[in-house]
Amino acid sequence: MKTQATLLIGAAVLSVTSCDTKNYTEEDRVRVTTNLENYVDSVENAVQFVPVHNWEKIDERYDSLDDRAEKVYNDLKAEDDNLEMIEERYETMVKNAKTESENFERTAEMHMNNVETWWDKTTADVEKGTKNTAEDIEDATQESLDWLEKNFDKLGDETKKKYEEISMKLNKD
Per-residue model confidence as pLDDT tens digits over 78-125: 888 989 999 999 999 999 998 988 888 899 899 888 888 888 887 776
Tell me how far CA of residue 13 lies from CA of 3, 10, 21, 79, 172, in angstroms: 15, 5, 13, 30, 86
77 Rama class: left (phi>0) / alpha (psi -120 to 50) / beta: left
Predicted pLDDT at 165: 84
Give me the half-sphere count of Cα atoms (radius 13 Å) on the Cβ side of residue 114.
18
99-to-47, 102, 111, 144 alpha-carbon distances in Å: 11, 5, 18, 22
Q: Say what the pLDDT of residue 136 is.
A: 60
The confidence score (pLDDT) of residue 72 equals 94
4-55 pLDDT, tens digit each: 444 445 444 444 434 455 799 999 999 999 999 999 999 999 888 877 778 8
Q: Give the pLDDT of residue 158.
A: 86
Structure confidence by residue, pLDDT tens digits, 146-155: 888 888 888 8
What Rg value do the Cα atoms of the chain yield, rounded?
Answer: 30
pTM for this predicted structure: 0.65
pLDDT digits (tens, 9 = 90+) for 48-87: 887 777 889 999 999 999 999 999 999 999 888 989 999 9
